[in-house]
Structure formats: structure tokens, C-alpha cells
Amino acid sequence: MYIGVVEKHRELEEATLYPFLEKQKYVNEVKVLRGQHRKIVEYVNDMKNIIAEYRGSLKPVENIAGEIIEKFVSIKTLYLKHMDLEEKLIFKMLSK
């Protein structure tokens, strides 16, 4: 489910925000934002794979807890950077 939310967010920005930012000459920033989206999707898929492997094994949940927490922290950290960059760009444009 979460990957669907991430994909809808990405699709919306690809269709609306990024073309607008590129027209405003923020091409390099859009490249960074797109790269962040790709990495977030990668982290979410990693988490899904860790959980799927766990389901297919007899390992205690404690064996994967560290991996899940690590991926979650990576997603959160990158998501906050992503939102910060978007905010800065939007405020920069609004202040012109």
C-alpha cells in the first residue's frame, strides 16, 4: 500500500510540479528531486522484500527488526530532505 502512495505522489509531481519548476530554470533541482523519489521507492521495496523473506522463514521477528528500522530511518531522512527542497523551491518562486 505504501508504495502506491509514493507512486501517486511521484506521478502527481511529474505531471505538475516538475515541468513547472523546469520552466522556471530549476532543472538541476528537479534532477535531485527525481533521484530522491527513485531512492525512496528503492528503500520501500527493500523493506517489502525484507518482510517477504521473513514471512517465508521461521526466523524470529527480532532478526529483521534492525533491518526494518534502518530502512525506515533512511526513508524518513530522505523524505524530509525531499520535502525541504520542495518547500525551499516553492517559497523561492513565491518570493519573486
pLDDT band at 3 (very low <50, low <70, confident <90, very high): low
Supply the pLDDT for residue 1: 54
Q: Which three cell numbers stand for residue 59?
A: 526466523
7-54 residue pLDDT tens: 788 888 889 989 999 999 999 999 999 999 999 989 989 988 888 888
Q: For 19, phi and psi rounded to 5 degrees?
A: -60, -40
In which domain, by residue range, is 74 found? 2-94
pLDDT band at 5 (very low <50, low <70, confident <90, very high): confident
Q: Percentage of the chain surpassing pLDDT 70?
A: 97
| Greatest Cα-to-Cα distance within the chain, rounded to the nearest angstrom | 59
69/47 Cα distance (integer angstroms): 9
DSSP code of residue 57 = S
75/44 Cα distance (integer angstroms): 7
pTM for this entry:
0.82
Q: How many domains does the chain have?
A: 1
Q: Which three cell numbers stand for residue 83?
A: 520535502
